[in-house]
Amino acid sequence: MLKLVLLDPHPVVQKGFKTFFKKTENITVCGTFSKINELFDFLEENTIDVVVLEMELPDGSAVQTIRRIKEKYQNVLVLIFTSLPQSIYGISLLKAGAVGYLSKQVSQRVMIEAIEKAVKLGYHITSNFANEISNNIDLNRPRNAYGTLSSREIEVLKYLVEGKRNIDIAQTLKINQKTVNTYKSRLMKKLDVKNQVDLFQQARNLELL
């Protein structure tokens, strides 16, 4: 019997996740958690096979959470379960130690097959994503892993995360304020976020800075 736990801050997702596996014979959900510390408290006292993890966590970084799990519980697999695009975030999370990346739009069958494959083979990667990985020129650097952010965009992102205003960034970099706005718009598009708060969160999650 495969033992799973879920870390996801959304109660609706937690409820649906339990329903997913309610009638499966070889998979059981041992717990669902909203906070990172709750998960680790549980892992201290219980043995499980797979942690299913949402990458948008309000109380910490998904990358750091994965690394912490792998450091303390080497036999526990981490499978990402999120609505965010694999093409942008997948490589950074796999490099941190996750064994696969699933969309929250997948069916029950696909979810079960992915978990079983991850446990059997040690990974779950779609063929399209495998091609992205094989074509990547430098997997050792998250910002190059998905090849979307330029050095100037990283520079602007750094100042935005530090809380600098657009006008201050423009003066520091000796560029027009409209150019800063353009870089900011590009960053939000490339990281698939809708506002500056989410932009900061994703920069932290992926340790881009």
Query: What are the structure tokens assigned to 138, written together?
Result: 């430098």
Q: Does residue 13 sit in the same domain as residue 116?
A: yes
State the pTM of this model.
Answer: 0.66
Q: How far apart are CA 157 and CA 11, in angstroms?
A: 32
Question: 188-200 pLDDT, tens per residue?
Answer: 888 878 888 778 8
Q: Does residue 7 sit in the same domain as residue 108?
A: yes
Question: 142-187 pLDDT, tens per residue?
Answer: 444 334 677 688 788 888 888 889 999 999 888 999 999 999 998 8
**Other CB atoms within 10 Å distance of the CB of residue 186:** 16
Q: Does residue 37 sit in the same domain as residue 79?
A: yes
Q: How far apart are CA 47 and CA 33, in angstroms?
A: 16
Q: Give residue 10's domain range.
A: 2-134
Q: Does residue 110 sit in the same domain as residue 152?
A: no
- Total number of domains constituting the chain: 2
Q: What is the DSSP string of 124-175?
A: B--HHHHHHHHT-S-TTSHHHHTT---HHHHHHHHHHHTT--HHHHHHHHT-
Residue 112's domain is classified under what CATH number? 3.40.50.2300
Question: 55-104 pLDDT, tens per residue?
Answer: 888 888 888 899 899 999 999 999 999 887 776 677 777 878 888 888 88
Q: Does residue 175 sit in the same domain as residue 119?
A: no
